[in-house]
Structure 1
Amino acid sequence: MSDATAAPAPKKGGKFKTIIIYGVGALVLLGGGVGGGIYAAGSGLVGSKAKHEESNKPRLVMKGEEGHEVPKIEESSAPDPSRFRATYYPMEQSFTSNLRDSDGFVQIGLGVSTYYDERVIENLKRNDMPVRSAVLMTLADQDSESITTNQGKKALQAALKKSINDVLKAKEGFGGIEDVYFTSFIIQ
């Protein structure tokens, strides 16, 4: 009897199996990475910051098509009134303020218009207190002689529009008020 044990037979295809295992593992990892990247990009976790920020801005609304919005028109360029639908909003309370360098006062009612979607009006409602403060400060800076003329009233409208848009830009990042209208105007 021999004490020697039989030597195991050499393994055939050992390198081939190792290469296949590593190849399949690499493909699984690569597929998982691609799938995870596609999921992250699609769900907004990666790469959609600029898109998400832009989608929060109000959009212009075409005339005759309720709710149809036109993308990517800058706020600084004036919208064409013949193409876009205006939304009007009357401010609920009137504004009363003393006039500069006189004993007189002015009481006005205001309405505004925008060619952008309902988010501008929602922003205006949400920021009613700072908007009212800006309007009152603008009114207090007027004198009784300048606002009695049509030219003075138009200048006041422009100043009020700027004041309101400045507040909305500071608070919401976007103005959007196109025009300011007087619904009542009393000077004493």
Structure 2
Amino acid sequence: MADEEIEVEGKKKSPLIKIIVIVLVALLLLIGTAVGTMFVTGFFDKKDTLAAEQAMKAMEESAADPKAGASDTTPQKKAKESPELERFEKSYMELEKPLVSNLTGTRKVIQLNAAIMTHYDERVFKNAKKHEFALRSVTLDVMRQVTEADMAKPEFRKELAHKIREEMNALLQKHEDFGGIEEVYFTSFVVQ
């Protein structure tokens, strides 16, 4: 009978030991995963202090002379090879989705796809992509102010493109300190 009690007590202890071992293995796996992730992401790599010092020095210089840093942040026009005249390369980008708005005072709808053109480098398009939702919003604001009388004018599409360009440049100027959109073109234009 004493042997039976010892066996029963031994069986009761073994599940507790199994649970402890499982918890320890799980902890070791979690710690190993965390350390491995830190190793792969470069947490243990030696930091490049020289590059950081140069960046700090450049920031201090631009803070001391605001005009010195302005040339780095303002996009530059891309020159186009031409023997007679100085010409600039034109780059285009189309806004992804069509823009749809009601005409003021009617049940008619105006739908258009817009593309922008610039002579400046790709930073204008990066800014336009970054703020595409805001650019779409200001374009829709201009479109919703259009009336049927406006559409009867011969220069209506040019005037609309000019207004949209001004609003887009004002928005980019506000958020990125540089507009850069030189023309707005309509790749499709429908009124129903």
Please tell me the TM-score bracket, short chain as reference.
0.5 to 0.7
Match of 2:159 among 155, 161, 164: 155
Q: Any residues of structure 2 matched to 1:63-74 within 5 Å, and which?
A: 63-64=80-81
Correspondence for 2:75: 58
Deviations 1:59-105, CA, capped at 9 Å, x for gaps: 1110139xxxxxxxxxxxxxxx9611111111111100011111111
Count the aligned residue pairs.
135
Q: Using a 3 Å threshold, how does the CA distance of structure 1 residues 44 and 135 change in structure 2: closer, same or farther?
A: same
Kept after mapping to 1: 8 A contact 2:77/2:120: yes
Deviations 1:124-153 (A, max 9, x none): 000011111000000000012322544011
Computed over aligned residues only, the root mean square deviation of the Cα atoms, in angstroms, reads 2.4
2:61 is aligned with 1:44: no
Tell me what 2:185 maps to. Answer: 181
Instruction: Calculate the TM-score normalised by the size of structure 2.
Output: 0.64
Partner SS for 1:116: coil
Q: Distance in 2 between matches of 1:129 and 1:150?
A: 30
2 CA distance for matches of 1:60 and 1:53? Answer: 15
What is aligned with 2:112?
A: 108
Task: Determine if the alignment matches structure 1 residue 120 to structure 2 residue 124.
Answer: yes
Matched letter for residue 156 of structure 1: L
1:29-88: CA deviations, max 9, x gaps? xxxxxxxxxx98x932543332223311111110139xxxxxxxxxxxxxxx96111111
Seq. identity, %: 29
Moved over 6 A (4+): none
Q: Secondary structure at the match of 1:174?
A: coil
Instruction: For 2:107 and 2:168, locate their aligned partners in 1 and report how far apart those are by CA, in whole Å.
Output: 26
Partners of 1:148 and 1:187 lie apart in 2 by 12
Three-state SS of the structure 1 residue aligned to 2:140 is: helix
Aligned residue number for residue 172 of structure 1: 176
Q: Is 2:92 aligned against 1:92? A: no
CA–CA separation in structure 2 for the residues paired with 1:181 and 1:145: 22
User: Structure 1: how far apart are the matches of 2:95 and 2:183?
Assistant: 13
User: Are the equivalent residues in 2 in contact too, given 1:144–1:187 (CA < 8 A)?
Assistant: no
SS at 2:93 equivalent: strand
Unaligned 5+ segments in structure 1 are: 1-38, 66-80
Task: Give the TM-score of the pair, scaled to structure 1.
Answer: 0.65
Structure 2 runs not aligned, ≥5 long: 1-52
- Structure 2: how far apart are the matches of 1:45 and 1:93? 39
Q: Which has the larger radius of gyration?
A: 1
Q: Match of 2:57, as an amino acid?
A: S
Q: Structure 2 CA distance, aligned partners of 1:106 and 1:137?
A: 12
Task: Tell me the distance in 2 between the aligned counterparts of 1:159 and 1:152.
Answer: 11
